[in-house]
């Protein structure tokens, strides 16, 4: 990864992105009002307080995606197509060091959460966004043929929208990623939204991001595991070895420019997803390839002041014949994260399948 890239229930606190608000003048007057019949004619309607032209897509500033580093912003525009349907433009023209397609896709989708919350559903800055679940499927043939890059579009349908006192508190997204008319990936995700007072009450002392970061940084960072497949950058390795070949300690570098682009009181969700991928890769199973599909559930926060243990095991192949792995993360004896990872077939496997005689 490049250095420049970075339910509201108590029993399921998940992963969130704290944001007190954008820099002065950034992202203000950006709410989108409820659509009218004119949306059916393709007109983008903005709140009257907005400066954006009604017929033009909303330009995405870094504050709207909760980033401090503008170079990490992957979204370029937002257009409302219906009450709960949106078209979001993405910019993948400068993502050379962001890893594989799964990392790029996931960070792009993660940035839609704050954008849709603030610009689509008038969620105030300062509210917490908590990741509940996430799954994706890559169209690897297309990605391999045409590469990663360009300016894809994200077609997003929001559903299961929960409101409390006229304020959105949770929603699910179905996302289709298309570039030049070709589908690159599909994804489903859900996140919830918590007002600051509720979040602070649930998190208690561990909700102080600066205190948690100070605690984490007062302890030595465990050594990186070998074979994680992220090149020579030790800071991109998020696992540390143990005596068991199928267990690791989560390695959280709180100075990492993407994972900790801004202060966080716990391990970000995208770091956990990367750890699941690295765990599968580090197993060195002969059929391990690209993480073509993944299904994840965020059960609890992964804290910064206590070791988190990552375990991986091989499961029976999935319905498409791909090798599948279960990755779990536990901290203080409690399950925090679960992932089912399906890896792409290696070229040798595909060649063997093509060479098998067919009946008839």
Distances (CA, A) of 36 to 39, 41, 80, 121, 201: 6, 10, 11, 15, 38
Please write the tens of the pLDDT for every residue from 37-64.
333 323 233 333 332 323 346 889 999 9
User: Residue 307: is its pLDDT beyond 80?
Assistant: yes
Please write the tens of the pLDDT for every residue from 164-173.
988 999 999 9
Distances (CA, A) of 164 to 29, 114, 159, 192, 294: 23, 18, 15, 12, 31
Mean pLDDT of 116-141: 95
Q: Which CATH class for the 15-200 domain?
A: alpha beta
With helix as H, strand as E and coil as C, how does the chain read? CCCCCCCCCCCCCCEEECCCCCCCCCCCCCCCCCCCHHHHHCCCCCCCCCCCCCCCCEECCHHHHCCCCHHHCCEEEEEEEECCEEEEEECCCCCCCCCCHHHHHHHHHHHHHHHHHHHHHCCCCCCEEEEEEEEEEECHHHHHHHCCCCCCEEEEEEEEEEEECCEEEEEEEEEEEEECCEEEEEEEEEEEEECHHHHHHHHHHHHCHHHHHHHHHCCCCCCCCCCCCCCCCHHHCCEEECCCCCEEEECCCCCCCCCCCCCCCECCHHHHHHHHHHHHHHCCCCCCCCEEEEEEEECCCCECCCCEEEEEEEECCCCCCCCEEEEEEEECCEEEEEEEEEECCCHHHHHHHHHCCCCC
Please write the tens of the pLDDT for every residue from 247-273.
999 999 999 999 999 999 999 999 999
What's the chain's Rg over C-alpha atoms?
A: 21
Instruction: Classify domain 208-349 by CATH number.
Output: 3.10.129.10
Which range among 48-57, 181-190, 235-244 shows the weakest confidence by mean pLDDT?
48-57
The reply to whether 208-349 shares the fold of 15-200 is yes
Which range among 2-6, 131-135, 143-147, 322-326 shows the weakest confidence by mean pLDDT?
2-6
Q: What is the pLDDT of residue 125?
A: 93
User: Residue 31: is its pLDDT beyond 90?
Assistant: no
């Amino acid at each position: 990864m490049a250095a420049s890239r970075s339910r509201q229930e108590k029993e399921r606190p998940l992963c969130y992105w704290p944001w007190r608000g954008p820099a002065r003048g950034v992202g203000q007057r950006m709410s989108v009002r409820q659509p009218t019949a004119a949306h059916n004619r393709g007109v983008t309607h903005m709140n009257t307080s907005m400066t954006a032209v009604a017929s033009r897509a909303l330009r995405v500033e870094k504050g709207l995606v909760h980033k401090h580093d503008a170079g990490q912003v992957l979204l370029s525009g937002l257009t409302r197509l219906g009450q709960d349907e949106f078209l979001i433009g993405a910019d993948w023209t400068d993502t050379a060091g962001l890893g594989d397609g799964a990392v790029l896709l996931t960070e792009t989708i993660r940035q839609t959460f704050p954008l849709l919350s603030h610009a689509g559903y008038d969620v105030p800055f300062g509210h917490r966004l908590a990741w509940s679940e996430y799954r994706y499927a890559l169209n690897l043939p297309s990605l391999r043929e045409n590469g990663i890059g360009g300016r894809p579009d994200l077609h997003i349908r929001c559903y299961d929208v929960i409101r409390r006192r006229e304020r959105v508190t949770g929603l699910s997204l179905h996302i289709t990623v298309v570039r030049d008319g070709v589908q690159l990936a599909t994804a489903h995700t859900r996140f919830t939204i918590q007002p600051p007072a509720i979040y602070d009450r649930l998190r208690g002392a561990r909700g102080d991001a600066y205190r948690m970061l100070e605690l984490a940084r007062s302890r030595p960072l465990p050594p990186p595991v070998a074979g994680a497949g992220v090149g020579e950058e030790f800071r991109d390795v998020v696992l540390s070895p143990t005596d068991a070949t199928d267990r690791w300690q989560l390695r959280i570098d709180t100075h990492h420019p993407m994972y900790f682009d801004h202060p966080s009181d716990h391990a970000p969700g995208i770091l956990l997803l990367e750890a699941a991928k690295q765990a599968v890769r580090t197993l060195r199973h002969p059929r391990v390839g690209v993480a073509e599909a993944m299904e994840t559930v965020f059960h609890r926060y992964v804290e910064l002041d206590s070791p988190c243990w990552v375990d991986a095991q091989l499961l029976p192949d999935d319905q498409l014949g791909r090798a599948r792995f279960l990755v779990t993360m536990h901290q203080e004896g409690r399950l925090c994260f679960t992932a089912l990872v399906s890896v792409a077939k290696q070229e040798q496997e595909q060649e063997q399948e093509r060479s098998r005689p067919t009946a008839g």
